[in-house]
Structure 1
Amino acid sequence: MSPYTALILLVAAERLAELVTARRNAGWSRRLGGREFGGGHYPVMVLLHTGLLAGCLAETAWAHRPFLPALGWPMLALALAAQALRWWCIATLGPRWNTRVIVVPGLPLVTGGPYRLFAHPNYVAVVVEGAALPLVHTAWLTALGFTLLNLPLLAVRLRCENRALGLATGPAPAVAGATP
């Protein structure tokens, strides 16, 4: 197994860990009266993100993309930085973080961690990773394809999330035992 294949498999394992975390957090949010928004675009997002990982492996194998150290090492650093930013978001949001857009009415917006720097830091991580991860091993078609397909999806996602957060007003429900 090549080091790049191992990297992609590690990212895939990380995605599975995210899904486990998201499922647990979705239960927490729903117990507090959380409402999901934008469920229609979620399967497209899952398909695109799965395609990113598959594309990384397929393009490097089929097109015999080389590892170019001058490109690969900086892109690896960016991909790792994107992972760090993503997990900083997850840690900051705690049980409120999810891969779906689920908002618990009445909870205040999170303004700490990376959210004190900008409104949607997780999506910065997605954009950076979507370009950097394929370019670690010069899979430029995958980087370009993911980026071009992700832009309209990200626009839909941002509109959905901003709308959902704008509607989340009113007192927070009190539910006994609703901890993550």
Structure 2
Amino acid sequence: MTLFIFIYIFIIIQRLTELVISKRNEKFLFSNGGVEFGKSHYKYIVLLHTFFLLSLPVEFFLKDKEFVLHTINYVFLVIFIILQILRVYVLTTLGKYWNTRIILIPGKNRVRHGIYKYLNHPNYIIVVCEIFVIPMIFNLYLIAVIFTILNALMLFVRIKEENKALKNLI
């Protein structure tokens, strides 16, 4: 249970810190002529991620305590740690252009260095993996399956919107 609480608090602090960074970056982007796209679906992304985070302790504490306490999946724990390193790398690669929304500055070139030289949306790949991996550390299968599917559907909409914005604006 201690590992669950530690990881859960880590994720909450990490996400709240990222929201602060995102707000700061949004101000920079808007002050430099940034235009927001995909406003209509953003609230659903926020809801999805909020319910994901809220559902973790619910399933964890409703499960058979003996099973959960003695079966931490260390393979998924290692994958989670690797994903956190990649997450920081992706966010620092985008720097002041990273935010949780789709905000682009017209005429500004896309970030095409680091991992973005090889992948268009590495952050989304990391998030997809996280949404599956985090619950799997503690064998929370229901959350892993349901939220992976919901997130994939949401990302289908989001990536389509982001690609359209990138094509039309940059």
When the two structures are superposed, what TM-score results if normalisation uses the length of structure 2?
Answer: 0.93
Superposed displacement of residue 117, structure 1: 2.3
For 1:117 and 1:5, the matched residues in 2 are separated by 36
Provide the residue aligned with 2:31 in structure 1: 31
Structure with greater proportional helix content: 2
Runs of 4+ in 1 over 4 A off after TM superposition: none
Q: Mark the runs of 5 or more structure 1 residues left unpaired by the alignment.
A: 170-180
For 1:141 and 1:12, the matched residues in 2 are separated by 20
Q: Within the alignment, does 1:68 sit opposite 2:71 as a pair? A: yes
Q: Deviations over 1:11-52 (max 9, x none)?
A: 011000110000000000001100000011111111111222
RMSD: 1.3
Provide the residue aligned with 1:120 in structure 2: 121
Provide the residue aligned with 1:2 in structure 2: 2
Alignment of 1:27-176 (within 5 A): 27-64=27-64, 66=68, 67-69=70-72, 72-169=73-170
State the percentage of identical aligned residues.
36
Superposed displacement of residue 83, structure 1: 1.8
Name the SS of the counterpart of 1:41 in structure 2: helix
For 1:103 and 1:43, the matched residues in 2 are separated by 19
Superposed displacement of residue 56, structure 1: 1.6
Q: Number of paired residues?
A: 167
For 2:82 and 2:43, the matched residues in 1 are separated by 26
For 2:43 and 2:79, the matched residues in 1 are separated by 27
Q: Mark the runs of 5 or more structure 2 residues left unpaired by the alignment.
A: none
When the two structures are superposed, what TM-score results if normalisation uses the length of structure 1?
Answer: 0.88
